Structure 1
């Protein structure tokens, strides 16, 4: 064993720099199959976050399909998803700049299928996503979001577009606030889709509809599943014409089949989540190999798995793979492709032979994990369970400090960064995150908290947050930190809390909690485009989430007082810990005004505050320089205000000075 350099936690030198985190990684956004050809969409920080459609060529090389300046990204629901589809070598994709849908034939130039914004109209007035191609009729069928009347809420519909001409689309399904997953049956005669209405979110209650379809209109539309208390996810037609879908009617998202007579059966009943919260369009957790077999991903006990599913007997045969997280599962012609990753493996596009279990990695998010000089510094998370103040159990991933070159002095315990995931209906990820390794390789422990309300543990666990946002999540994050202190795993005098988006709200709510015992746990905090004013969010956010707070908090018109009680900006007088804020200037989900209200309140109180506003960024940072800047700035903030002062105080005490 090499001689390790002894140094206090939080001072370790690490090769995992912010530049490495930002510059060596891409984000893998989508996976597409076209016959035997595999395509994917990747976001490149080095190109200011441009989303590029890429094809795996026959010689094994990766070839860009969409040239600059096109960026394959849609703003439907603001979170987007399913921005492209490829059929017979022809791609149809949305461009982020103008939100027009384009057709791109192999070897050709991109041709717009939808009109440019009218003179004087707002940009990106018509947005398109989640499409399928009807090759027999020459149509694109998908979701359109219409923002042309700025005085009204955007209108969502399902439309068809002629692949040979330009136009806004022919409306075929309307009448609900939201639509997703339009899916054409194998014979082209039936169309299935999901719909839901305010105030529900898609993981609360969706409806699955089926209708006869002739290419221009739908007839005999029938709701076949779903409702206010049932979330339906990813409807798909099997090769034999039967309709499958995920439903949580049992308390868990399981795969269901609608029989020819209309009867619905649970194909594989399990206390496991085969579905996911539908934050983005085009999500896929299963795909058919035949009418009798499918490949599916699921979460059991907080861990992701991939298996072969016998659709007739309901039996699962797990694949022995080194990954812990699976998504975007696609299949065609006997081959399977998906996105996968693990805590110490980079996220990758993987091709699987389901008969042999052999895999081929087509694209990785970065190569640094393959470098032994980097990999040896990785921390592997430990799933933990801990008691909550309400007598229940909550879950988290704990990353202890790890560095192949350093060790801490005997008896010292590491600082802890408590991380709150966004959503809040989401979950801590088991994917390799170099930002986490940035902290742990410097001697800072990290805990990713799956507080009550998180996905992956069944509907009842998600519903713990109903009406309780700002209470249950706060209690659980504080309980996670307290549990780790009691276990002797971290230093109780050096605990920070940070979060993105909804997680930023939870972090700020912890720091401004009405319970002094919660506030006193944390010595500093960070908010990345986080919510600080619930009332402002209820009044000023995009359509998709405009009624989300009805479920998380209460209907605003009926109980505005509870919004004030739980808003961090209204409780800034309770805050004593320093806070760092990071915000995108073009964020429509959590506008800059949210952050700036909180910053002003803290500065008026004289609390140390850092505010970084990034031009050209929306909800989540995609430009490499900004990713690096935010990471360095947050570490410097905590190091200056927490790590160093505590070390110096202890050094003075050990020397007998005052």
Structure 2
């Protein structure tokens, strides 16, 4: 788990710590935790949550596993409404949010001074990004048959006296993903769109802001993304592959991070961001802009960026290093230091990789002399675990795979999967079969993970055992992540020692 989500309230900055505790940082002071001990911020809306807290009129609101909470000044949390909430945003004397249940989504409003949750709109599909400005409300919607990167629409409507007027679609459709609507200081609506094949920023009047042949927004696996923000003078700051870009300028502020979380927050002429294991503030009132680390790890792990590929070399490695490499289906935020400190390099893309992407990363590193054939491994979690297993179900560069709580049969799982993931799971190829796997695999399943059926993992392990195929099954029962990492390291080290 990494540092997550940022919000400014005037000059006070808030974020989530690695243990999902909410932290407040005021200039000149040490960060302070605001949540009660053991309280974890993060709701289950759309499987992965997002936009899990906000601050309005000095009050902090947050989503947790069982509902929406208000935090008090004495570090207590009061349950306001049960349910799955996310994408929290201030409205006009109220809190706006997305609420999900088994039937679909709702845009809801909660009075700041108390009162019942009020439903503004309902849909069998999905809502996101409720964003309010003087009498107007914007939001996103996408079909229950799609993922938001397949096709997503931005809608606007008048919003007065707590009622939504006649809505109008302003962007997006079956062949366009329009996401992250936000009202600018000029009163205009802005949003990200992939209409050119790249997720770039647009204004409601059709103007492209800083068009470029690269993605300036992350794939929307979560709600609440903020890949751009506005300085107080109206200037726009965007995330790019190489750092932060000030729109209208060719100058990019370089950052020492493998990736930047899509949760920028602005106050005055400063932009806060989360990169790797640090919270940093970039001050655009100086030339060149000043980057100041305000929290997190004292140092950032070395990383080489190549066309969006992030490669962390082993700790203390020389410039011409060559090492065993772990290719991660999704960025391995929490355990990179664990493996690099033990002589491994860790590689990942900016977004989750498919099988072809994993193979391409491995082959690229072998061709560059960074990895040695027979010393490249692949690992993934959930649907990423499925990808890792599929990657070793065919001839290729991988010497072993680690699959954490893997989905074994996505099409079969799609009927019981979290609602958000059903379209994605249904489109994946058929189940992983033991007959196709001859490469050593480590299957790890957390018994607390009720979204992924443990029975499928156990059945695959039994089929591998019947074939005498090299494998290990590790069922975790509250033993913590260290046990899993130790088992994963042992697998890789045994294969290296046997070569």
TM-score when scaled to structure 2?
A: 0.90
Aligned pairs (5 A) from 1:248-287: 248-259=194-205, 264-287=206-229
CA drift of 1:40 comes to 0.9
User: For each residue in 1:213-250, what CA deviation from the matched residue of structure 2 results, as whole angstroms up to 9, or x when unmatched?
Assistant: 11422111101110011111210111221111111111
Q: Distance in 1 between matches of 2:119 and 2:22?
A: 28
CA drift of 1:92 comes to 1.1
Aligned pairs (5 A) from 1:444-593: 444-448=344-348, 473-482=354-363, 484-485=365-366, 488-513=369-394, 517-518=395-396, 521-550=397-426, 552-553=427-428, 563=430, 567-569=431-433, 572-593=434-455
CA drift of 1:583 comes to 1.7
**2:51 touches 2:86 (CA, 8 Å); kept in 1?**
yes
Q: Distance in 2 between matches of 1:290 and 1:382?
A: 32
Map of 2:148 onto structure 1: 202
CA drift of 1:57 comes to 3.4
User: For each residue in 1:431-451, what CA deviation from the matched residue of structure 2 results, as whole angstroms up to 9, or x when unmatched?
Assistant: xx573343344334444367x
- Structure with the greater alpha carbon radius of gyration: 1
CA drift of 1:160 comes to 1.0
Q: Distance in 2 between matches of 1:492 and 1:322?
A: 29
Residue 77 to residue 202, structure 1, CA distance change in 2 (3 Å): same
CA drift of 1:316 comes to 4.2
Among 19, 32, 38, the residue aligned to 2:7 = 32
**1:210 touches 1:222 (CA, 8 Å); kept in 2?**
yes
Map of 1:363 onto structure 2: 295
User: For each residue in 1:442-500, what CA deviation from the matched residue of structure 2 results, as whole angstroms up to 9, or x when unmatched?
Assistant: 334444367xxx57xxxxxxxxx9xxxxxxx4344345444544555443244433222
**2:230 touches 2:236 (CA, 8 Å); kept in 1?**
yes
Among 588, 593, 597, the residue aligned to 2:459 = 597
Q: Distance in 1 between matches of 2:252 and 2:376?
A: 39
Q: Give yes or no for the alignment of 1:183 onto 2:47.
A: no
**1:103 touches 1:163 (CA, 8 Å); kept in 2?**
no
The alignment partner of 1:213 has SS state of strand
CA drift of 1:398 comes to 4.5
The alignment partner of 1:230 has SS state of coil
Aligned pairs (5 A) from 1:398-409: 398-403=311-316
**2:270 touches 2:285 (CA, 8 Å); kept in 1?**
no
Q: Distance in 2 between matches of 1:402 and 1:130?
A: 38
Among 162, 171, 179, the residue aligned to 2:119 = 171
**2:232 touches 2:267 (CA, 8 Å); kept in 1?**
no
Q: Distance in 2 between matches of 1:158 and 1:191?
A: 11
Q: Distance in 2 between matches of 1:64 and 1:132?
A: 21
Q: Distance in 2 between matches of 1:114 and 1:381?
A: 45
Among 320, 336, 339, the residue aligned to 1:439 = 339
| Structure with more of its chain in strand, by fraction | 2
**2:104 touches 2:123 (CA, 8 Å); kept in 1?**
no
TM-score when scaled to structure 1?
A: 0.70
Map of 2:483 onto structure 1: 629
Equivalent residue pairs, number:
495
**2:193 touches 2:202 (CA, 8 Å); kept in 1?**
yes
Q: Distance in 1 between matches of 2:311 and 2:8?
A: 36
Q: Distance in 1 between matches of 2:87 and 2:492?
A: 42
Superposed CA RMSD: 2.8
Q: Give yes or no for the alignment of 1:644 onto 2:493.
A: no
CA drift of 1:110 comes to 3.1
Among 155, 163, 170, the residue aligned to 1:224 = 170
The alignment partner of 2:61 has SS state of strand
- Structure 1: which 5+ residue stretches go unaligned? 1-25, 45-50, 116-125, 147-152, 342-346, 371-377, 385-394, 423-427, 456-464, 466-472, 554-561, 617-624, 647-658
Residue 414 to residue 348, structure 1, CA distance change in 2 (3 Å): closer
Map of 1:79 onto structure 2: 48
Residue 281 to residue 476, structure 1, CA distance change in 2 (3 Å): closer
Q: Give yes or no for the alignment of 1:42 onto 2:9.
A: no
